[in-house]
Amino acid sequence: MTLSIELNQIAIELNGRQVLRDVNLSIESGEFIAIIGASGGGKSTLLRVIAGLLKPRAGTLKVSSQPAFVFQDYRLLPWRTVLKNVNLPREVQGKGMDPLEALKLVGMEQYKDLYPAQLSGGMRARVAVSRALAQDSEIILMDEPFAALDALVRERFNAELKRLHRKNRRTILFVTHSIREAVYLADRVVVMKDGTIADIIDTKLEGRVSAYTDGIEARLRELLGEGNSTLLSTTPVQRKVRLEGWLALLALAVFLVGWHFLSFTQNAFSLPGPLKVLAELQTAWGELSGQMLLTLRTTLYGIVFGLLMGILLGYPLGRFPMLERIFSPFLVASQSTPIIAIAPLLIIWLGFGTAPAIVATTLTAFYPIMIATMTGVREVENTYHEYFDTLDASFWQRLRLLEAPGSLPVMLGGLKLTASLALIGAVVWEFVSNAPGLGAAINQARAYYNTPRMFAAILLLTALGAGLYALVTVLERVVLRYRRKSK
């Protein structure tokens, strides 16, 4: 007899309450064990002890291999496709079953390119089971994986799980509240009560044949047919997008028409009309376009370095709240000081040129992405971290596969504000230092009382800001396509 799991006198306390006490259990390799009992009886805690997520206060535990865990809420990463979710254990551990082969075992290979949000609850359950099968472990722990499914789908999944167990002969510990499910599936049923094992019942196939096939239940099941999981609707709604586009164009047209007629009520110096501004833009295009490119270059430097600075500061502050409490007063103070106030100091320290311009735009731009990184890291749910614990993921694997993609939606939102602030920082620097760029062009036009030239430069600044925002929006749509497909 080869033992997969052996527990001797296991005891554990949580929040000062004894959850498990004197738990003794030996499980042979290839056994299917159902664990049943009232809520709060210690069933899920026992699985977490076996998985290594909780350390017992007393007793000894022997496990033949790191178990694969199927959680009740499945814990599929929303930014990864079905295939990539199933492949995650092999990415982390460097070994395991081919993910496509694992999906074939549960009949989900045709949905390999979908995202979890596009799947029904039953399909997510199949993917979670497939991911556990793909993990290189002879032990699978299942914490009520079918609890949220309707009765017909649950019965079918029970039959499929039973078939998979016969085929793969993995050791399975299956927590359930259903007596019928426990009797139908398990070789032995462990009954837990008040944190200890009250009894272990060997089914010896007793009751399995008749549990789903006799009497009125069988007749009702025949009338209802076979339960199955369904795919959620993924048809995109295009009409709303088109309507929003037309409304944006209409708003722009109303603004231009309003500006045109308002210019007639003012003198030409204080408010030139849009046609005069466009004429001035055409006349001075060669000069203004070159200055716009200089401003764009400084802005892009600010975005890149602000992004790096924000991430490098935001990640440790998000992971370790104590660091935030220590350094946040200094960071807030840095943002309370306008860049125009420290620009003269930058000129004294760094002179005129590219270096002080980069420093000015970086200091203006880094704060939003830093806050977004902090928030994004903290919004990655602890349940996902717990799943990565079951894989023994390293710090870098957790950062690359979980924290970075999990915090990306918030960080991209911060990047939009960072791009806008970098542009503002570049223009402010040009105002103060008179360095070439659109800021200097506005200064020069003001000195010569050339209002149409000022408006033309401002128009280019507006177009530059809108273009940067649109670029980040496109990046967001590409990177976060899983969100768009799930709507």
Residues in the chain, pLDDT under 50: 207, 209-211, 216-217, 220-221, 224, 235, 237
pLDDT at 219: 53
In angstroms, the CA 36 to CA 223 distance is: 30
DSSP 66: P
pLDDT digit string, tens, across residues 160-212: 898 899 988 899 999 998 888 888 889 999 999 989 999 998 886 554 544 45
pLDDT at 231: 59
Give SS3 for 203: coil
In angstroms, the CA 376 to CA 385 distance is: 14
Q: Which two tokens stand for residue 207?
A: 């009751």
Q: What is the pTM of this model?
A: 0.86
pLDDT at 91: 96
pLDDT at 211: 47
pLDDT at 229: 56
pLDDT at 237: 45
Alpha helix stretches (DSSP H) within 57-117: 82-93, 99-105
pLDDT at 55: 93
141 backbone dihedrals φ, ψ, rounded to 5°:
-105, 130
In 3D space, the residue among 135, 137, 133, 138 whose CA is nearest the CA of residue 2 turns out to be 138
Beta bridge mates, 481: none
pLDDT at 226: 53
In angstroms, the CA 5 to CA 316 distance is: 38
pLDDT at 277: 92
pLDDT at 1: 64
Amino acid at 238: Q
**C-alpha distances out from residue 157 to 108, 146, 227, 352, Å:** 13, 8, 9, 71
pLDDT at 210: 47
pLDDT at 230: 55
**Under 8 Å CB-to-CB from 411, ≥6 apart: which residues?**
311, 369, 372, 373, 376
